[in-house]
Structure 1
Amino acid sequence: MSTADAQAHAARTLWNLLHAWWQMMPKGKRTLADADAAIRQARKDLDFLAVLPAQAAQAVLKTYFQAWKNCWDGRADAPNFKGRFRSVMAVDIPQGRDLNVKRVHRRWGMVNLPKIGRVRFRWTKDLPVGKHAGTVNRITGARLVKDALGWHIAFRVTTLESRPEPHQGPAVGIDVGVIVPLALSDGTIFEHGEWLTEKDKTKLLRLEQRAARQRKHRKAGERTSRRLHRTYDQTAQLRAKAKRRAANWQHETTTGIARTYGTVVVEALTITNMVKSARGTVDEPGKHVAQKTGLNRSIAAEAWGRTVTMLTYKTARFGGTLVKVPAPGTSQRCSACSSTTAGSRESQAVFVCRNPDCGWSGNADHNAARNILHLYRIGLVAIPAAGRAVARRARRVKPPTAR
């Protein structure tokens, strides 16, 4: 196990110890000072926690308390234990003064990591180092994160940016889908191909078959063999490669949209309800379970929520705005006459209005995008569900300071 892996496991263990301490202590003793004293005592009693730098341990403490504040404000669920195989391995470096970041090559840089040493990393974005660093533009910390492809470092940078001028671009409605990922109200379509090449898909199928054979020979209660772990790691690497390519396409696409349009209008979708299983119960089994399972996988693969998140901060960066409108009826309503007639949605790609006085026909995705834009123009804007939840919770519970 590398030093970075040991630090990540120590940080996860420290989080779990903090959570156990929180559950055992009475409400009056759940203070930051008492938790800090408990952490210091745990680092003395447990030798393997000493591999984690003291600043990183303090970062775990602050993150845990912030998680409870987010829960009390209605922005997140209550923090829980972090499992060994279900949680992301990460180490926070809250102080940037000792990182000593230097660029040694056009593609590579060097950084000092506490209790790890000098490490080389891939230089992908400009950082305020050397003559570009100052009191305003400077690196304030970093975070190490591990995925199936290895360790990555993300730097926290403070900089002074001017407020962007209001975007003078037009407004556009966006309809998200499975067949057509993004369809705009002006007729533009953004599509993508397969995230894995044919060679990668063949390798992935071979690895899945190998894992099935290796699991067949494992007895009940027996530990997973190293060969099976190796097969799992290779499968995870291919899936991580596909996920990285998908995120790259989303970044490029959303950046182009934010640069072009001043107002971006999307549907207020509840994705968690859309991907619920159709399996049903023993007494009332579901119908078309296999088809619904495939649809759920396709929706999850498109990552609509991540696309909206990217558009939210990118439109603000370029001086634009993102608006959400109610989702019901946008795909069944005719964008020409605003009527909803049964049978108008002939297929996934074609919309033909069955209203005798209209008869408009066109692409179904463009029709939905035009309806989305129309809802914004008439002032029908969705109220964020998180805002309503916070308002209800504020009337029920005491403020966080009372805890």
Structure 2
Amino acid sequence: MGDLDRAFQNWWKRPDHFARSTWHKKDINEGFAIRDLSVRRLNLKWGELFIPTCGWVKFRVTRAWQDITSASSARVTKDRSGRWFVSFTYPTPNIAHEPTGEIVGIDMGVAHTATLSTGEFLDTPELLSKGEQRRKRRLQRKLARQVKGSNRRNQPKLAIAKLSAKESDRRKDWIEKTATELVRNYDLIVLEDLKVKNMTRSAKGTVESPGKNVAHKSGLNRSILEQSWTMFCQRLSDKAANTTEQVEVIFVNPAYTGMRCSKCAHTEPKSRKSQATFLCLACGHMDNADVNAAKNIIAAGLGVTERGGQSHAAPTKAKHSDPVKRTTNPQAA
């Protein structure tokens, strides 16, 4: 069965999961698959892949050569910055994990990408230098003034794509390394079930009913998307399901986690004095606002893991029940 036939079969059988096939477009999802692999090694860093109608093409070896030779197929893709990649189909090796008995709750935020209930802050590193940021903004202004479809417009467009690719690569590298470290160190990880798509919805409104604080909301949306919460949670779930020993990831309802006191469970919006300060109006407990939220998240996770048990920090005003979304490794159970 060809790729097109397989794509239509998948779409007909599971339209909720697979999208309908579309025509190829320039610089959008460019790539193709290779079924019958022929590879040969040139030296320690370089190898060659035989591509039909193209011949032997060199590629940089970044994985064990045994994994490449035992792959069943490969896919050649091109990103928007003009870089070509080849990925070989091979089972992902399990992440080494020894049971530690440690549990952690993680609060996703803008000031800090992730805050652990242990008090540790995980921040995305600077993705672009100050000079690269200024250059990118200058190129974006230049691109906005040029005529769409013109040849001279391709030059700043490609330069912006290269800077964006560098930014994306650094973000992905940090997420991969951070998620691996968390999976190795903790047996239970509790996250918020955030609806990022709804949170970053535009506030412009309509002509009849215009929105308020549109510029502020637009800046907040950019800050949220730059943190890549969805990718972080997804990679954490994927890695937890691919460990040598069982690691469980639970998603709980995020409502009231930032307003609830982690010590007395009193819920009051005014207790959060600022972005970084939480002062309970009932018991006087003072803590970092993100750390307090992370403690509430882990308490909610412990509440849903105990059979019939109540959360350690049950809300005083909230009437919802925490949804249980689990990610575990069935082979390690």
TM-score of the aligned structures, taking structure 2 as reference length = 0.85
Q: Does structure 1 residue 196 correspond to structure 2 residue 128?
A: yes
- Take 1:271 and 1:121, find their aligned partners in 2: how far apart are those partners? 37
Show the counterpart of 1:111. 49
Show the counterpart of 1:344. 271
Show the counterpart of 1:100. 38
CA change 1:286–1:342 in 2 (3 A) is: same
Show the counterpart of 2:258. 331
- After superposition, give the CA deviation of every residue in 1:140-161 in whole Å (9 maximum; x if it has no partner): 00111111141111100258x6
CA change 1:327–1:83 in 2 (3 A) is: farther
- Take 1:165 and 1:69, find their aligned partners in 2: how far apart are those partners? 37
Show the counterpart of 2:316. none
Does the residue aligned with 2:269 lie in a helix, a strand or coil?
coil
Query: What stretches of structure 1 move > 4 A for 4+ residues in a row?
Result: 161-166
Does the residue aligned with 1:362 lie in a helix, a strand or coil?
strand
- Take 1:82 and 1:359, find their aligned partners in 2: how far apart are those partners? 62
CA change 1:326–1:280 in 2 (3 A) is: same
- Take 1:129 and 1:300, find their aligned partners in 2: how far apart are those partners? 34
CA change 1:274–1:224 in 2 (3 A) is: same
Which shifted more, 202-211 or 238-247?
202-211
Paired residue for 1:156, among 52, 73, 89?
Answer: 89
Following superposition, the deviation at residue 61 of structure 1 comes to 2.1
- Take 1:163 and 1:328, find their aligned partners in 2: how far apart are those partners? 32
- After superposition, give the CA deviation of every residue in 1:119-171 in whole Å (9 maximum; x if it has no partner): 111111114269xx6xxxx2100111111141111100258x68977734411
Paired residue for 1:186, among 102, 118, 137?
Answer: 118
Identity of aligned residues (%): 33
Show the counterpart of 1:382. 323
- Take 1:85 and 1:162, find their aligned partners in 2: how far apart are those partners? 37
Show the counterpart of 1:28. none
Paired residue for 1:87, among 28, 32, 36?
Answer: 28
- Take 1:86 and 1:80, find their aligned partners in 2: how far apart are those partners? 17
The 8 Å contact of residues 50 and 56 in structure 2, kept in 1 or not, is answered as yes
Does the residue aligned with 2:272 lie in a helix, a strand or coil?
coil
Q: Does structure 1 residue 275 correspond to structure 2 residue 213?
A: no
- Take 1:226 and 1:314, find their aligned partners in 2: how far apart are those partners? 44
- Take 1:162 and 1:289, find their aligned partners in 2: how far apart are those partners? 46
Give, as a single letter, the amino acid of the residue that structure 2 aligns with 1:330.
T
CA change 1:251–1:332 in 2 (3 A) is: same
Show the counterpart of 1:366. 291
Q: Does structure 1 residue 62 correspond to structure 2 residue 3?
A: no
TM-score of the aligned structures, taking structure 1 as reference length = 0.71
CA change 1:183–1:123 in 2 (3 A) is: same
Show the counterpart of 2:184. 259
Larger Rg: 1
Following superposition, the deviation at residue 102 of structure 1 comes to 2.8
Does the residue aligned with 1:140 lie in a helix, a strand or coil?
coil
Show the counterpart of 1:393. none
Give, as a single letter, the amino acid of the residue that structure 2 aligns with 1:342.
P
Q: Does structure 1 residue 145 correspond to structure 2 residue 72?
A: no
- Take 1:184 and 1:109, find their aligned partners in 2: how far apart are those partners? 42
- Take 2:120 and 2:41, find their aligned partners in 1: how far apart are those partners? 41
The 8 Å contact of residues 176 and 182 in structure 1, kept in 2 or not, is answered as yes
The 8 Å contact of residues 72 and 89 in structure 2, kept in 1 or not, is answered as yes
**Unaligned ranges ≥5, structure 1:** 1-35, 37-57, 386-403
Does the residue aligned with 1:90 lie in a helix, a strand or coil?
strand
Give, as a single letter, the amino acid of the residue that structure 1 aligns with 2:280.
C
The 8 Å contact of residues 325 and 382 in structure 1, kept in 2 or not, is answered as yes
Paired residue for 1:232, among 147, 151, 157?
Answer: 157
- After superposition, give the CA deviation of every residue in 1:265-294 in whole Å (9 maximum; x if it has no partner): 101111111011111111111110000001
